[in-house]
Structure 1
């Protein structure tokens, strides 16, 4: 347990905002959790998040020791596109799970990061783990950024919330899209019947916006570029299925009659752009389409001729 003692250098500012400003290595959510758990006291007394500081208030913050993530480190080959002391950019292969979960406790990206990063891990929000800022599905390949410390984790998370991280995907969808481009603005939430699935849910869904552009049309499929404005679970897969053009090979939201065995959806996170969370340098990364994706395009082009 770490005890941090501070003296208020201002007044009429909420305690949660002030502590977040003084301790930027911790997320605002975590600071609120500390206050709710009575781990933040003013002049020896517990306070609520909306308490407004008075000049020279003595603030004591008790930060619990971070909990070690119960995940085994594994030596796993990872395609690291970029690395510095603050972040990693990784090109995740199709078939790799990002987070350990029931049925997938080994072989995940987190297992590999635990080995690769060693002790150089984010302990944001009280759990030591590689800083997975955003995830991509098991059968989706492509780029994702990993935070190596709390400051980069917090800042990248804020960028995601404010839509300041540009993510561009390529996908092959079933059916021929006649429009050159389009915007899908439809809220996404849990499926009302199947709780394991997501769906367009106008009653309980969260705001979700997807943009697409047609790159090539085939006899019964379309190659598209997709840009995410928001980042909801399964967003591209749900939205494309919603408008009648599901991602090819999608075993959850797609069509059952498969013309090609793709072993999961044909979806690739190709481009990633953001401002570096520490250096403020503009960063842009782009990776080639993986072999499985190229094979699908070859088969579609062949069937067209």
Structure 2
């Protein structure tokens, strides 16, 4: 079924148990890894219909309602999106792609917003590119790509052994000591905001912070090293330690007048591979 260049990808019929449930909550079954805000955007973009009509996120479902989910036909990579991406390094097994701030790393099921991953077929024609790491939309820097799922599994095994080091640069408010480690475990159940817990995480989830330079206005440039990242790990760890990232709209200072969020993934190393990417604002 096609509908204005949209293709039907899933369908369900509401049962008695779904009576009165909001549409934006009902479609969680279609998008288990997508937060409430994005699910609402998917509905508002016309990618969900109820009984062949567009609906609002707050629509209360009723028994027998036919809910259909669509995606865009083709999911093309616009020239203006691919122009902002750059292949920094490429081997037989892996590649690193620069992603600017403001662009999604991964394709979002049912979404229509552009992503770096959506351009991989264009960047790596004839190969099987698989996105390994994700960056927040507001974070710039390096995306690691594997060529084939075998290479993904090899990387994951190396990562579990603690042999992967990922380095980020961040402009933060305040001036920390020269070096310190943030060990707190994180609660990522709420997709909108990660919470810091009192107990320590396993060592692969620690954030190691090093002062690089003191900046004007009681700010500083720091390097943060992680092995395995959790969602918003660096952002929430730094804020918890009293050094929120400049321009962070979720964990940062209130009324922080910045032109962007200053977090950049600038280096990665693991056995047989290393890549680096300048921030442009250091």
- TM-score, normalised with respect to structure 2: 0.66
> Would the aligned equivalents of 2:98 and 2:141 in 1 still touch at CA under 8 Å?
yes
C-alpha offsets along residues 223-250 of structure 1, whole Å, 9 cap, x if unaligned?
A: 1011013311111001001111111100
Distance in 1 of aligned mates of 2:276 and 2:103 = 19
C-alpha offsets along residues 168-196 of structure 1, whole Å, 9 cap, x if unaligned?
A: 1111111222x1110010001136xx652
Q: CA deviation at 1:70?
A: 8.1
Match of 1:209 in 2: 206
Matching residue within 249, 252, 267 for 1:271: 267
Are the structure 2 counterparts of residues 274 and 105 from structure 1 closer, same or farther at C-alpha, using a change threshold of 3 Å?
farther
C-alpha offsets along residues 134-174 of structure 1, whole Å, 9 cap, x if unaligned?
A: 11111111112101112111111222222211111111111
Matching residue within 72, 75, 80 for 1:72: 75
> Would the aligned equivalents of 1:73 and 1:113 in 2 still touch at CA under 8 Å?
no
Q: Does 1:116 align with 2:114?
A: no
Q: CA deviation at 1:97?
A: 0.5
> Would the aligned equivalents of 2:207 and 2:224 in 1 still touch at CA under 8 Å?
yes
Q: In the comparison of the two structures, how many residue pairs are matched?
A: 204
Q: Secondary structure at the match of 1:139?
A: coil
Q: Does 1:162 align with 2:150?
A: no
Aligned residue runs from structure 1 range 210-249, under 5 A = 210-218=207-215, 219-249=217-247
Match of 2:39 in 1: none
Q: Does 1:84 align with 2:81?
A: no
Are the structure 2 counterparts of residues 116 and 230 from structure 1 closer, same or farther at C-alpha, using a change threshold of 3 Å?
closer
Q: Secondary structure at the match of 1:187?
A: strand
Distance in 2 of aligned mates of 1:187 and 1:109 = 29
Distance in 2 of aligned mates of 1:230 and 1:257 = 31
Q: Does 1:286 align with 2:282?
A: no
> Would the aligned equivalents of 1:92 and 1:144 in 2 still touch at CA under 8 Å?
yes
Any gaps of 5 or more consecutive residues in structure 1?
1-68, 122-129, 276-281, 295-305
Indicate the structure (1 or 2) with the bigger Cα radius of gyration. 1
Match of 2:180 in 1: 182
> Would the aligned equivalents of 1:73 and 1:114 in 2 still touch at CA under 8 Å?
no
Are the structure 2 counterparts of residues 256 and 74 from structure 1 closer, same or farther at C-alpha, using a change threshold of 3 Å?
same
Match of 1:96 in 2: 103
Are the structure 2 counterparts of residues 70 and 254 from structure 1 closer, same or farther at C-alpha, using a change threshold of 3 Å?
farther
> Would the aligned equivalents of 2:188 and 2:231 in 1 still touch at CA under 8 Å?
no
Q: Secondary structure at the match of 1:201?
A: strand
Distance in 2 of aligned mates of 1:232 and 1:147 = 20
